[in-house]
Structure 1
Amino acid sequence: MKMMQQRHKSNGFTLIELIISVVILGILIAAVAPLVSSAFMFMEAAKKDENEITNRNLANAMIDFSRTRTGVMKSRLPDPVNTSAPIVAGLFNEASTNSESIALGVLLKSTGVGPNQINFDNAVVQNARVYQRVSDLTFNMPLYVTTGPSMRLTYDYAVVYSTRCGAATACYTSASSSNPPGDSPVLNSGNYSSWKTVGSDYGAVAFSSLSEQKNLLRITAGRLNMLTERFNVDFHNKVRLSSADSATNFFPTNNGGLDLGNTNPVANMGCRDGWYTLSAANVDVLTQLGLDKSEYGVTPWGGIISYCRDYDPAGTGTHNSPPHYGALRINKGTTSLGVPAVISDAAILTF
């Protein structure tokens, strides 16, 4: 009987023990809950940081891509991909086979970002990564940075950001170029300077091609400096070899078959003999100077560089009469490939 009573006393918990256990458990939960919450917050912050770094790497790749483009599109950002779902406001279309898309894909993937994470993040629901761009913005700056004629640069401004908009959800499948995935507004020329993500969107990286356009303008200035130096050196070398009283215009004459001499300078932007397109097949002036037409006959955008061998803007002289001045002309609008139609569109450098 005594043994049975002892066995009965050893089974289960007393009420006091249960109360103590509950109190201890409550204390533990109260102590651990903030840590769990902090852990989740830390994981969320780490994910956001990871996506922002990815967005920045992708933006840098698109800047790199802009440098590979040619002609008027040189140093211009690629178009956003809007083929409707499965890609809306995306960075890259894997299905495209044109050479530019392939080149862009190579650069985007070379950042270390997985192919499946270019237009979406690596979450199970694949949240959209959005690329918006506003194009044809303009910026005026002097040809020689602080001096010279004012040149008009055309550039693009863009943003890449992350969203909570899953690829299979209505916020993505119903999206369009005028209603991009996520909560943030459309980027346009009226709001780009103040645009920012709203709602649950995050990790925005803003970038533009303006610095690349400025670099192309520096290259343009360098080419024009080289040309004016060669024209001056050639002119003065010929002067030294001539008689002391020679009044000859020693600036190179075009021997390529085109003769634009003795025109009215008032009606020809100050030029009596020209303007010769230095890259033209029937103009051999650069060949005479030992310069490559494909490099020094055009601007980095492919714009025309014209040469005048008898520059008289006042129109007070006569054809080939001293003093002799030459001139180079380009379009102030750097992406305008044609010759300037009016004098206000022309950047003219004399020598």
Structure 2
Amino acid sequence: MNYRQSHGFSLIEVLVAITILAIAASASSGLINQIAGFYKIERDLENDTELRAIADAHVKYASVHNSGAILSAFTEGDCYSCAIDTTNAALVNYVESRTQRTAKLSNYDSSSVKNVRGLMLDATTYQASLNLPSAINLILEYRAAVVVQTNCPKSSTCDTDESWKTPAYTQTGWVPNSTIEKAVPFNNLEILQGLASSSVERVILVQQKIREYKHELVLANNADVNINFLPVSTHPSTPDYTGSDPTVNGGCINGWYDLGSANVNVLSIVGLEASYGLTLFGGSIEYCADFDLTAVDASTADTAPHVGALRINRFISRGASPDVSNNNNILFPI
């Protein structure tokens, strides 16, 4: 009988087999680690892409639907301070068109444990000036926010009552902490700059239309007719500012009229829609048909030369009405 057949494998053969298995195991382990590494890179890229898409969606929503303001975080079900308010149809549409996933799923990463994605709005309101040729020293008040990827699984204790937030997480230090793995910061300054520029263009158009209206009346009358041809509201419910003191009324005789008011029809007189009575932030555009910024007494005499004016609050992004005293206003003489 053959020795190998009667006694199985030789010692050398066993050692060779063990060596081969060890080499195979080592290669397999390396391959597994390599695959795991590739998977992590792919997940990191996917997370980064989706977080940026969510941030872009918030910027788009602020620009189109929210007068430039950034939304706050939203809480629903298992998710605290969620990145996406899934009840907001417009925001959902922007998110889904960018991420190619449903907004509800995008509130979590693609891992099996569904780590939560959050939104934090910086508590600080920052200021920036905007100088346009016709409106110097406009002030924009903007906010900063960040979309984050946490390592808190859905329904976990670290995702309870915004426990992953940290007060130190401000615009001066947008850095991941032990719970936040990735962060994509954004702000609404550029949006506000665009809305402010468009608002000033709106005021300039109103200014131009009123000038054209006055010019047509001047040409239609004799040269010796010296009356104020600037338009005044003819609506039956227009406020009566007769006798207003210009020294306490920002230099306006007979008062400033809110062009956005339903009781003031100056815009329709000059051929514009009522929407031109407001800035794109919702602040009033006010009009004076007899303006003298240098008025030093309480005279209400409407004397030549007849000058009008428009005004807006220079803190334009607040959506506030102009100051009575003009201290914080931008003036547009007519």
**Does TM, normalized by the shorter one, top 0.5?**
yes
Q: Counterpart of 2:301 in structure 1: which amino acid?
A: H
2:52 counterpart residue number: 56
Q: Counterpart of 2:122 in structure 1: which amino acid?
A: V
- Counterpart of 2:81 in 1: which secondary structure? coil
Alignment of 1:320-339 (within 5 A): 320-334=302-316, 335-339=318-322
Q: Counterpart of 2:74 in structure 1: which amino acid?
A: V
Q: Is the alpha carbon distance of 1:213 and 1:231 closer, same or farther for their aligned partners in structure 2, counting shifts above 3 Å?
A: same
What is the rounded CA distance, in whole Å, between the counterparts of 2:49 and 2:130 in structure 1?
Answer: 35
2:323 counterpart residue number: 340
TM-score by length of 1: 0.83
The answer on whether the counterparts of 1:143 and 1:218 sit within 8 Å (CA) in structure 2 is no
Percent identity between matched residues is: 25
Deviation of 1:65 after TM superposition, in Å, equals 2.2
Q: Counterpart of 1:314 in structure 2: which amino acid?
A: T
What is the rounded CA distance, in whole Å, between the counterparts of 1:123 and 1:141 in structure 2?
Answer: 44
The answer on whether the counterparts of 2:246 and 2:300 sit within 8 Å (CA) in structure 1 is no
Q: 2:250 aligns with which of 246, 259, 269?
A: 269
The answer on whether the counterparts of 2:249 and 2:325 sit within 8 Å (CA) in structure 1 is no
Q: 1:37 aligns with which of 33, 45, 64?
A: 33
- Counterpart of 2:150 in 1: which secondary structure? strand
The answer on whether the counterparts of 1:270 and 1:312 sit within 8 Å (CA) in structure 2 is yes
The answer on whether the counterparts of 1:286 and 1:292 sit within 8 Å (CA) in structure 2 is yes
Deviation of 1:31 after TM superposition, in Å, equals 4.3
5+ residue gaps in structure 2?
Answer: none
Q: 1:244 aligns with which of 223, 230, 234?
A: 223
- 2:8 is equivalent to residue 12 of structure 1: yes
Q: Is the alpha carbon distance of 1:36 and 1:225 closer, same or farther for their aligned partners in structure 2, counting shifts above 3 Å?
A: same
Q: Is the alpha carbon distance of 1:8 and 1:280 closer, same or farther for their aligned partners in structure 2, counting shifts above 3 Å?
A: closer
2:135 counterpart residue number: 148
TM-score by length of 2: 0.87
The answer on whether the counterparts of 1:133 and 1:187 sit within 8 Å (CA) in structure 2 is no
What is the rounded CA distance, in whole Å, between the counterparts of 2:213 and 2:73 in structure 1?
Answer: 49
Q: Counterpart of 1:170 in structure 2: which amino acid?
A: T
Q: Counterpart of 2:215 in structure 1: which amino acid?
A: H
Q: Counterpart of 2:192 in structure 1: which amino acid?
A: Q
- Counterpart of 2:145 in 1: which secondary structure? strand
Q: Give CA deviations for 1:171-207 in whole Å, capped at 9, x if unaligned.
A: 22xx323x22xxx63476xx22322212363332111
- Matched pairs, number: 328
Deviation of 1:122 after TM superposition, in Å, equals 2.3
Q: 1:27 aligns with which of 23, 26, 47?
A: 23
The answer on whether the counterparts of 1:87 and 1:93 sit within 8 Å (CA) in structure 2 is no
The answer on whether the counterparts of 1:127 and 1:162 sit within 8 Å (CA) in structure 2 is yes
What is the rounded CA distance, in whole Å, between the counterparts of 2:104 and 2:295 in structure 1?
Answer: 66
1:118 counterpart residue number: 106
5+ residue gaps in structure 1?
Answer: none
Deviation of 1:168 after TM superposition, in Å, equals 3.9
Q: Give CA deviations for 1:140-165 in whole Å, capped at 9, x if unaligned.
A: 32352x66232232333211121221
Q: 1:283 aligns with which of 264, 272, 285?
A: 264
Q: Counterpart of 2:184 in structure 1: which amino acid?
A: V
Q: Is the alpha carbon distance of 1:324 and 1:10 closer, same or farther for their aligned partners in structure 2, counting shifts above 3 Å?
A: farther
Q: Counterpart of 2:125 in structure 1: which amino acid?
A: L
Alignment of 1:154-303 (within 5 A): 154-172=141-159, 175-177=160-162, 179-180=163-164, 185-186=166-167, 191-199=170-178, 201-256=180-235, 257-293=238-274, 295-303=275-283
Q: Counterpart of 1:163 in structure 2: which amino acid?
A: T
Q: 1:88 aligns with which of 62, 80, 89?
A: 80
Q: Counterpart of 1:80 in structure 2: which amino acid?
A: A
Q: Is the alpha carbon distance of 1:296 and 1:147 closer, same or farther for their aligned partners in structure 2, counting shifts above 3 Å?
A: closer
